[in-house]
Structure 1
Amino acid sequence: MEVKSRIFDQRINSENVLIQTTLGEYLDLISEAMDKNPFQRKRVTSSKTVYSLLRDDIRKGCVIPPIVLALSYDVADNGRPTPKKDEDIITAILKRQGDLLILDGLQRTHSFKDVIADTSPKDLAAVRDTPIRVEVYMGLNKIGILYRMLTLNSGQTPMSLRQQIEMLYWEYHNTGVEGLKFVREVDSEHATQPNEYNFKDVIEGFNSYLERNEQPLERTDLLENIRSLEKLSHENNNRDLFKEYVNALHKFIVKVIELVNGTSITKDDLQGKSLWGKDSKQCFKKTQVFAGFGAAIGKLKDREVLENLEDIQQICDDLYFDCEPQEFLIELNSALDWISKNTKKIGNAQRMFFQFYFRELLNSEGDSFKDLKTSIEGALHKTRTQLF
């Protein structure tokens, strides 16, 4: 392995190092990291694709475009700046080869492995010595990794922003956030405890915060995806925005659970109306609520009503309702019942309602500030105005 050039990428704040190596050395280098990148597309297996031709090109000594790798910020040389000496760069890469990520070139890498597997023992050494080029981005953070992957793979169908955000914060699925646990239904788990949340629902809410829109968005436009990542990168500067969002959401949920104090209602209490949720947990730990919460606090932040997400945690300490808990639950269920009976796209209308609800509740300039019950009436009025 030999460093041939080094160029600093100002756009993503990372040094790009061009290395010349051999096919065999590269496969040895990347063997531990082949399946570690959650951002990477799946392998193309069809024999009719261009990758079947690529294997023949490799055997014929065709010059293959460089593979692009990343050594992330958290692991590159213990988080310190890229080494100044070329030989120290090689040492850092070799030392942490299990932490390398393939940004562009997974299909070529699989083709390399196929060629090696199909080569006879007498020709193996010659094939392994085939020269190839590899680019390595040193010290690239998660947003930089995803940004560069989007631009490198612009010919493919880009991921939706929700998919991108889920990948960026996937590590929290395993570690949680300060005592909170994320679960996935595909793992046969359910969020039954106050400190448990469905990971997909939380991602949906955080996506709504970034987009300032409570409705489900499945963007596939590359430029829009990149712009959204730029917004995240700017707002996430020197802080963990996802973590702040989750903590603010949980603070609200905990406060409502405390105020409702175990009270629950039945269908009989609603006198023929549909049941949205029998208790505080069923009422508020839902995707529509998380999306409305995210969109609302994003809009309030843009209007400078909220300075940052930490403000919400302080506001939640003072939330209240001037009624019995049962009356509060009936009022909320009645509002959602009206929506279910008077709108065609019920889920979208529910999201809109909760977006208005949290704007009423958390807006210090409004009449319903901190009042959980009166915010319901204001939110339903605005929802009706928008729908009819």
Structure 2
Amino acid sequence: MTKYIEIFSADHDEVIDSYVAMGKTSYKVALEKLYPLINRFEAQRKLQDKKFYKRLQRDLVEGCIMPPITIAFIDKAGGDLSDKEIFEKFANENIDQGYILDGMQRLNTLKSASEDENFDENRIAYVNVIVADNQDKLLYRMITLNNGQKPMTPRHQIEILTSEMFDFTELKNISVQTEKERSTKTIRGAFNLGDISRGYLAFLTGNVNNENNKIINEKMDEILVTRVLDSRNSNSSLKFEEIIDLVDALSADSACKTWFKVNNNLIGFCVGIKTSYDDLVEVEAKDFAAAIELFEEGFDAINASKVNLGKYRRQLSCEFIKNFSELSGMDDDDLVEYFIEFTS
């Protein structure tokens, strides 16, 4: 096994239930093995504050020590990596499957600096390495690492992670396309990746109302970060990929698929399901189709001229899914009354 990274210490992060290590590599390895990982993020940040990074480029050539790069891995097997030798073996064997969680700009700058004839590729580059068993935990850490950097907003971070770290190719009943893919060839009935990422944001924040034009973007970003961090206090072990798998299974019925393609329904579902997943995972697609037909009958009773229908659809779909066992068993009149009381 080639030793690209040397690990100094490894420990378990109790907050994100993941393994974290500190180590080192060389500028040469950073350029050959870590720099290409930037390309795994199609929507990577463009280089910001060129004046600052031009200064860093000169400093790197002159021999400054670059702040650590943070590399992340997904280990779905969830192995014990608390021993530094085992951690080191894992990191080196899987280095090509890593993600750069923090340090894209520094790697870009290192690449530019390497073109200088005085650049020393043998200098040490320090690294932090995180290994989590699912993407949600990495997203939490990514937001805390990048919070405050501009223009990498929480929404942008979530869009990146949704695009690059979830595999939608194994889904049986739904397909997912980016806007770029749609412009080339549209798959009929495909979900928009942006809609999926908004569902992911709702899941992470535990809130259906994450877009508000009345609040300036910077303040809304602060609110979103706070919601994501606070949501980590939840004891739920549910992962977003499990929600996507459930949406896919229920979409075997075309009526369910059509319902999920209304983004406000999907957003409400992604929050409500955190409470009722154990119940809904046992529901057949045809039975869920009957339940959402009941939901629509109740929703149609709302006076559209009096309310913000998009907001109400998010809130009521969330409430319906959250209390699915109870509400799906009501008749339409009782559900209408419930919705009226809930929204009053």
Q: TM-score, normalised by structure 1?
A: 0.65
Where does residue 271 of structure 1 map in the other structure? none
1:100-249 → structure 2 map (5 Å cutoff):
100-117=98-115, 119-120=116-117, 123-124=118-119, 127-129=120-122, 131-137=123-129, 139-141=131-133, 142-156=135-149, 159-160=153-154, 164=158, 167-168=161-162, 170-172=164-166, 174-188=168-182, 192-193=188-189, 196-205=190-199, 207-209=201-203, 211-217=205-211, 220-221=221-222, 222-229=225-232, 231=234, 234-236=235-237, 241-249=239-247
1:336 aligns with 2:300: yes
SS of 1:102's partner is strand
Tell me which residue corresponds to 2:314: 351
Match of 2:32 in 1: 28
Alignment map for 1:268-347 (pairs within 5 Å):
285-298=261-274, 301=275, 306=276, 308-314=277-283, 318=287, 332=296, 336=300, 338-343=302-307, 345-347=308-310
Matched residue type, 2:149: Q
Structure 2: distance between partners of 1:53 and 1:286: 48
Q: Give per-residue Cα distances to partners, 1:343-375, cap 9 Å, x unaligned.
A: 2x2321333343455567x233x5x61x5xx34
Per the TM alignment, residue 33 of structure 1 is displaced from its structure 2 partner at its CA by: 1.8
Q: Following TM superposition, where does structure 1 have runs of at least 4 consecutive aligned residues deviating by more than 6 angstroms?
A: none
Maintained 8 Å contact 2:271/2:318: yes
The share of aligned pairs that are identical, in percent, is: 17
Asked whether the equivalents of residues 27 and 109 of structure 1 are also in contact (C-alpha less than 8 Å), the reply is: yes
**CA deviations over 1:369-388 (Å, ceiling 9, x no partner):** 1x5xx34x444444444556
Contact 1:173 1:181 in 2 (8 A): no
Is 1:363 aligned with 2:325? yes
**Contact 2:8 2:23 survives alignment (8 Å):** yes
2:221 partner amino acid: T
The answer to whether the aligner puts 1:70 opposite 2:34 as a matched pair is: no
The 3-state SS of whatever aligns with 1:18 is strand
The residue aligned with 2:96 is 98
Give yes or no for contact 1:162–1:207 (8 Å, CA) kept in 2.
Answer: no
Q: For the structure 1 residues 75 and 110, does the alpha-carbon distance in structure 2 shift closer, same or farther, using more than 3 Å as the test? A: farther
Name the CA distance, whole Å, in 1 between partners of 2:231 and 2:243.
Answer: 17
Higher Cα radius of gyration:
1
Shift in Å, 1:73 = 2.1
Unaligned runs of 5+ in 1: 258-279, 322-327
Structure 1: which amino acid aligns with 2:306?
N
Q: Root-mean-square deviation (CA), in Å?
A: 4.2
- 1:16 shift after superposition: 0.8
> How has the CA–CA distance of structure 1 residues 154 and 177 changed in structure 2, closer, same or farther, with 3 Å as cutoff?
same
Question: Partners in 2 of 1:247 and 1:22 — Cα distance?
Answer: 41
Count residues with an aligned counterpart: 325
Residues 173 and 251, structure 2, Cα contact 8 Å, conserved in 1 = no
- Normalization by structure 2: what TM-score? 0.72
Q: Report deviation, 1:294.
A: 3.6
* Structure 1 residues 146 and 309: CA distance shift in structure 2, 3 A: same
Given that 1:161 and 1:228 are in contact with CA atoms closer than 8 Å, whether structure 2 keeps it comes out as: no
Deviation at 1:146, TM superposition (A): 2.7
Residue pair 1:16, 1:136 contacting (<8 A) in 2 also: yes
Deviation at 1:213, TM superposition (A): 3.9
Matched, 1:14 2:12: no
Code of the residue aligned with 1:57 in structure 2: it is D
Partner of 2:217: none
Structure 2 distance, partners of 1:381, 1:287, is: 25
Cα distance, 1:162–1:386 mapped onto 2, change above 3 Å = farther
1:206 and 1:242 in contact (8 A); partners too: yes
The 3-state SS of whatever aligns with 1:341 is coil
Go from structure 1 to structure 2 and tell me whether the alpha carbon gap of 1:247 and 1:46 turns closer, same or farther (over 3 Å shift): closer
User: Counterparts of 2:100 and 2:303 in 1: how far apart (Å)?
Assistant: 47
Return closer, same or farther for 1:335/1:9 CA change in 2, 3 Å cut-off. closer
Unaligned ranges ≥5, structure 2: 213-219
Cα–Cα, structure 1 residues 287 and 137, in superposed 2: closer, same or farther, change >3 Å?
A: same
Q: Which residue of 2 aligns with 1:53?
A: 55
